[in-house]
Amino acid sequence: MQHPGGVRLALLLLAGLSLTEAVEVEVRGKDNKTCIYAVLSVNFTILYEGNVTMENATFPLPNSVSSNGSICGGNNSTPLLKMGFGTGHSLSLNFSHSTGKFRGDVLIFTYNTSDAKRFPGAKNKSVKHVAVNSLMDSTPLNTIYTCRSVEAIASEAVVMTFWNVSIQAFVENGTIGKNESVCRADLPTTVAPITTRTTPIVPTPVPTKPPPELPAVGNYTIKNGSDPCLLASMGLQLNITYTENKTHLVNIDSNSTASGYCGDKDATLVLEDMDTTIQFNFIVDQSKFFLKEVKANVSLVINGSRTALNSNNSNLRFWQAFVGSSYMCHKEQSIVVTDQLVINAFNVWVQPFQVKNGTFSRAEECLADSDLGFLVPIAVGAALGLLIILVIVSYIIGRRKSQTGYQSV
């Protein structure tokens, strides 16, 4: 169990100005080192049963909160940021981390309708809880997540509106990260890049949209005992269509965890990062192998709510080569999994069967990469040219013949 004794709370007073409430919370561990740091502004709107009609209570997260009950997190517990205020109200957020990233998991708002100041005339005086998934994007460890945009999370009775949010959990050595990871809402449609941190609260203009980054190439190995049996090296990008013409690009982390299975006739590669799990199933048919099936499971924030997308296609035929060799393609390829999901693959090099000595065997390159690819249009052009020449020649011969015909008359 953790010791809330060392937990400390700091208040942030905005230089003289503003009705805007911004609260700064710092959670410290036993060693008095900061383990969670947050600055945020929240407005709550809560529908409750008044003494005659339904009423809305509207109030902000006050700039004085207690971090009592917060947990730094350790081997058996995940970090928890708990901000208590008033008579029994609190907002808490727990965090998870994997593959070098962290994100907020579940946001729990607890409110007590016996607070007559905030809930005047409430009929039922009781403590209520609302739990929702947080909208926080995965953030690299040792960077601070920032989101200046206004984002609302609604459940049946409660609307929580957040803005000017800066959060870092799993703070290492008590030092807040110097780099910030900007939320997607601040940088529409692109993967959040890391920019140098300015002060977390002063609003700055939203940066202009950078061109979409290409995914980094990851090297993935599956082992059978200690022997590598499946090798893959590729950059992957998901193109997700979530309404008729809105798309969302997600680059797969090159540090994703690879797991899977190697058989004689089938092999599986599973790549997992915080928000995404993709499974590639390869099979052997006659003497060739190919990618037969893709299963993808993506968790992403769309229009202010966390959504799970599951896509599956088992009728694919990509990345085909003879068993005993590897498949290589430098060109970008688009694998259409479903109407909602297209996987853009870059610099693919895979060998799911008969890996020898932990290295790729001779590569069979895709048509687009090889010289043959250039030869196809040339061959078609040459054939067309030949046809035209033939037509012209036969026309001339035809004319000659008919001219000689006239002369003889």
Ligand X SMILES: *[C@@H]1O[C@H](CO)[C@@H](O)[C@H](O)[C@H]1NC(C)=O
Task: Rule CB under 6 A: choose which of 49, 86, 106, 195 binds ligand X.
Answer: 106
- Examine residue 307 and tell whether it contacts ligand X (CB under 6 A): no
Residues in Cβ contact with 96 at an 8 Å cutoff, skipping those fewer than 6 apart: 78, 102, 103, 105, 274
- Within 11-64, strands assigned E span 23-28, 34-49, 54-60
Q: Under rule CB under 6 A, which residues in 58-97 are in contact with ligand X? A: 58, 60, 66, 68, 74-75, 78, 94, 96
Question: Smallest distance from the beta carbon of 151 to ligand X, in angstroms?
Answer: 9
x-marked contacts with ligand X along 311-350 as a string, rule CB under 6 A: -------------------------------x-x------
- Between the alpha carbon of residue 155 and those of residues 44, 49, 58, 61, 127, the distances in Å are 11, 16, 15, 18, 16
Quote the tokens at residue 165. 């949010």
Question: Smallest distance from the beta carbon of 44 to ligand X, in angstroms?
Answer: 9
Distance between CA atoms of 97 and 376, rounded to whole angstroms? 50
- Examine residue 357 and tell whether it contacts ligand X (CB under 6 A): yes
- Examine residue 120 and tell whether it contacts ligand X (CB under 6 A): yes
Residues in Cβ contact with 53 at an 8 Å cutoff, skipping those fewer than 6 apart: none
Residue carrying structure tokens 């409660």: 158
x-marked contacts with ligand X along 34-63 as a string, rule CB under 6 A: ---------x-x-x---xx-xxx-x-x---
Q: How many CB atoms lie within 10 A of CB 269?
A: 23
By CB under 6 A, the count of residues binding ligand X is 48
- Examine residue 219 and tell whether it contacts ligand X (CB under 6 A): yes
Q: How many CA atoms lie within 13 A of 377 on its CB side?
A: 4
Whose Cβ is closer to ligand X: residue 196's or residue 357's? Answer: 357
Torsion sign over Cα 349, 352, 353, 359? positive
Task: Rule CB under 6 A: choose which of 100, 228, 263, 324 binds ligand X.
Answer: 100
Residue 6 has what DSSP assignment? G
Question: Smallest distance from the beta carbon of 376 to ligand X, in angstroms?
Answer: 24
x-marked contacts with ligand X along 7-26 as a string, rule CB under 6 A: ------------x-------
Q: How many CB atoms lie within 10 A of CB 243?
A: 8
Q: Under rule CB under 6 A, which residues in 155-214 are in contact with ligand X? A: 159, 161, 163, 172-173, 175, 212
Identity of the amino acid at 332:
E
- Examine residue 254 and tell whether it contacts ligand X (CB under 6 A): yes
Whose Cβ is closer to ligand X: residue 344's or residue 351's? Answer: 344
Find out whether 63 and 22 touch, Cβ atoms under 8 Å. Answer: yes
Task: Rule CB under 6 A: choose which of 98, 195, 239, 297 binds ligand X.
Answer: 239
Pairing of strands 179-182, 143-147: parallel
Task: Rule CB under 6 A: choose which of 113, 142, 251, 276 binds ligand X.
Answer: 142
Question: Smallest distance from the beta carbon of 154 to ligand X, in angstroms?
Answer: 8
Find out whether 278 and 252 touch, Cβ atoms under 8 Å. Answer: yes
Question: Smallest distance from the beta carbon of 100 to ligand X, in angstroms?
Answer: 5
Rg, Å, the chain Cα set: 30
Distance between CA atoms of 306 and 387, rounded to whole angstroms? 59
- Contact positions vs ligand X (CB under 6 A): 19, 32, 43, 45, 47, 51-52, 54-56, 58, 60, 66, 68, 74-75, 78, 94, 96, 100, 105-106, 120-121, 142, 150, 159, 161, 163, 172-173, 175, 212, 216-219, 233, 239, 241, 247, 249, 253-255, 342, 344, 357
